[in-house]
A and B are shown apart, each in its own frame.
Chain A
Amino acid sequence: MKKIRFYLAKILGKLSNLGLKILGRNIPYYPGFVALKVCPEFLHYVKKPKLIIAVTGTNGKTTICGLLKDCLENMGLTVLNNNGFNIDTGIASMFLKQKKVSDVAIVEIDEKTSGEIFKSIVPNYFICTNLFRDSMKTNSSVEFILSKIREGIPEKTKLILNADDLLTVEIGRGRKNIYFGIKESINKKNYPHLFCDLVYCPKCGGKLIYTDIKYYHIGNVYCSNCGDTNPERNYEGKVSFEKKKLYINEEDFPLKANSIFNIYNYLAVISLLKEIGFSKDQIVSSLEKVKIIDSRFYQEKIGNITLINQMAKGQNPVACSSVFEYLQNEQGRKCVLLMLDDVTDNRYSSETVAWYYDTDFEILKNSSICQVIISGKRWRDLYVRLLLAEINPEKIWTAEKETDMAAKIRYEKIDKIFLLHDITSYDQSLQVKESIKERLS
């Protein structure tokens, strides 16, 4: 009976996929939703590739999955990925897309639901990037998320963890894991963030001493009480910004990113590929051909001005502040466009703005930032936050509608435009990007 339900779910899921295509609707999780409604054990019964890689963590999941997918496809493998739709319905939709069993499935998993997913899917490898406070609506606290992830990790799954995040290290406590990290100091200006999610030792509660901070609680650390520290890094990265290289255990790899959070994403990807058994040459040649997906990072030089479209995940203070820190460290005079509203939330409800006060808008005071342009439904709240961050009011420009933002830019006074958007405002950011390009060409 269960098998019959599974086949029915598969047929209905595929039909709904076809239906969406015919109607021209883009609801990627819907076929999976249908399949799971018909057969809640759909993920258990569906045929899966031999190699399954699961990726979770607060930030970087989608970027890592995108890089991994491109690399593995460049190596000639067929790859499934759920493209950021990281709960059960998105994962079910991913499996509905496969005509025959793929070589690899790269499954992005929401931190809270990994335990549930692992009841049906046993990954060979499980990457955890980092753990930070996230949306207050759903994520409660990092301790809670940590306990949820730890709950259901299968015995045979090999964990690939960020050694520089002791919260992530806690996930693998008591297991033999693979660690990646960057021990050496990176010569970039560090900003003292408004909060730290890991002040005390997760093992004994003693005060943690950070000897080198990469960002937030990511870095070299030891406990002043029990001495607990970062584990030995199996894949230790060293960065050369000048050569655009990432050196891992003395081998060099191309690096097409200069933000610290993306360097960690590259490090996780290379560590995994090495762990699977690919050679340095195979990895280098596949990495040469890949780039971070456009919805996360896009850069184009138009005349004398560089336009950077960068995702800064709203409701996620670490993601936003890390992007602010990255743009602060970039050369040149800058204009920053903030499109951080959760468009979906604001359409039906009223977005919470509590996260503004965990986010380092103070970074935008930097003298290289000549203009900050804000728009969207929450512009009044954002305006207050920028004023409280002591940003010169003359630097703050407001646009009633997003489409008016391009007209507010003082193109003659800047070298770079940073267009920062939320996941939900990506489409609007593309419209603004096009308006900017029209004005520049």
Chain B
Amino acid sequence: MTIEILFPEICDLYGDRGNVLFLEKNFPHAHFVKTTILEEPYFVTHDVQFLYLGPMSEYNLEKVLKKLKIYQKRLNEMIQNDTIFLATGNAMAIFGTTIVKENKEILSGLNLLQIHSEIHLSKRYHSLFLGKFSEENHLIVGYKSQNTFIETKETPLFETIKEKSNTKVEGVRKRNFFGTTLLGPILILNPYFAKYLFSIMGYNQELIFEKQLVNAYNERVLEYQNQDTAYE
């Protein structure tokens, strides 16, 4: 199995490397390819089973979009072929139709998903997130810290139970494309979601340190469900 991590030297903001670490620990025999922004992505000429793109600064968003635009067709083919994609934080915006910059300049996205995004550098939105992954009936816990705000007509990935704003849904699910604005080590924070994702990859064994992960998860779920917990 080949797992490609796209541009980890710049798409690595705020603990998302935890997801890569977790993949490496659970798939020690997989072939990991870490492609820098200066290189041609491995997926262009090879089969890749899992493609990961983490959050980046809004300054790098444009750079990454420009880089991936050349491979739009190939990326579309991969989505249609059920390659697993995980895009976290603002990475999801790149796959959409349009991104409006703070100066109102409009960038065309990869146009692979019905997502419209707006960048507001002066407006940082931060919230805890409690949601539900309906497909498996698991609760999802995590964080949002955004300057890029996303609207989508695609099938959502999670239902929102609680966050600071009044959103009803979170993220995008299209075939095996999993996109979420949650950032941080989402797989480590959500062991049941990780198990689901890994099962698609054909891995149905116990997660590494599963007991400890579930302990931490259960504690966090209780905290997030507590009415007194501020979502600030």
Contact = CB atoms under 8 A, between A and B. Distances in A.
Given A199-B9, A383-B216, A349 B229 contact: yes
B123 to A, nearest CB: 10
B180 interface: no
Interface residues of A, number: 32
Contacts of B18: 354, 356-357, 388
Interface stretch (B70-78, B166-174, B198-206, B217-225): B217-225
A352 B184 contact: yes
B215 interface: yes
Contacts of A207: 38
Contacts of B17: 194-195, 357-358
A279 interface: no
Contacts of B59: 141, 143-144
Contact of A136 (B37, B121, B145, B216): B145
B129 to A, nearest CB: 11
Name the residue in A137, A140, A195, A384 with the highest tally of chain B Cβ atoms < 10 Å from its Cβ. Answer: A384
Interface in B123-138: 124, 126, 128
Interface string B29-44: 0000000011000000
Nearest to B59: A143
Contact of A350 (B38, B183, B188, B220): B220
Given A136-B183, A196-B9, A144 B58 contact: yes
A353 B128 contact: no
Contacts of B128: 349-350, 352
Given A350-B220, A350-B224, A142 B57 contact: yes
Nearest to B12: A195
A144 B15 contact: no
A417 to B, nearest CB: 26
Interface of A: 133, 136-138, 140-144, 194-196, 199-200, 205, 207, 348-350, 352-358, 380-381, 383-384, 387-388
Contacts of A388: 18, 21-22, 25, 188, 208-209
Contacts of B185: 353-354, 356-357
A137 B57 contact: no
A144 B230 contact: no
Nearest to B15: A354
B38 A387 contact: no
A380 B209 contact: no
Given A143-B57, A354-B184, A133 B216 contact: no
B221 to A, nearest CB: 10
Interface of B: 9-10, 12-18, 21-22, 25, 37-38, 57-60, 63, 121, 124, 126, 128, 143, 145, 147, 183-185, 188-189, 208-209, 212-213, 215-216, 219-220, 223-224, 229-232
Given A358-B15, A380-B212, A137 B126 contact: yes
B145 A380 contact: no
A140 B126 CA distance: 10
Q: Which 5 A-B pairs have the closest CB atoms?
A: A354-B15, A354-B184, A357-B18, A141-B57, A357-B15
B231 A349 contact: yes
Interface SS of A by simple majority? helix
Most B CB atoms within 10 A — which of A141, A143, A207? A141
Contacts of A200: 10, 37
Which among A138, A196, A354 has the greatest number of chain B C-beta atoms within 10 A?
A354
A355 B14 contact: yes
Contacts of A196: 9
B200 to A, nearest CB: 22
A207 B36 CA distance: 11
Nearest to A195: B12
Contacts of B16: 354, 357
Contacts of B12: 195, 358
Nearest to B213: A384
B40 to A, nearest CB: 15
B124 A140 contact: yes
A194 B209 CA distance: 21
A293 B154 CA distance: 54
Nearest to B128: A350
Given A140-B121, A350-B223, A133 B13 contact: yes
Contacts of A354: 14-16, 18, 143, 183-185
Contacts of B22: 388
B144 to A, nearest CB: 10
Contacts of B145: 136-137, 352
A195 B55 CA distance: 14
B2 to A, nearest CB: 22
Nearest to A358: B15
B184 A353 contact: yes
A384 B37 CA distance: 31
B124 A348 contact: no
A209 B189 CA distance: 35
B142 to A, nearest CB: 9
Contacts of B230: 348-349
Contacts of B189: 353
A380 B126 contact: no
A243 B118 CA distance: 56
Given A356-B18, A384-B213, A388-B22, A138 B184 contact: no
A137 B10 contact: no
B51 to A, nearest CB: 20
B9 A383 contact: no
Contacts of B208: 388
Contacts of A384: 188, 209, 212-213, 216
Contact of A387 (B143, B212, B220, B231): B212
A144 B216 contact: no
29 contacts: A133-B13, A136-B143, A136-B183, A137-B126, A138-B126, A140-B121, A140-B124, A143-B57, A205-B63, A348-B230, A349-B229, A350-B128, A350-B220, A350-B223, A353-B184, A353-B185, A354-B143, A354-B185, A356-B185, A357-B18, A358-B12, A380-B212, A380-B215, A380-B216, A381-B216, A381-B220, A383-B212, A384-B188, A388-B18
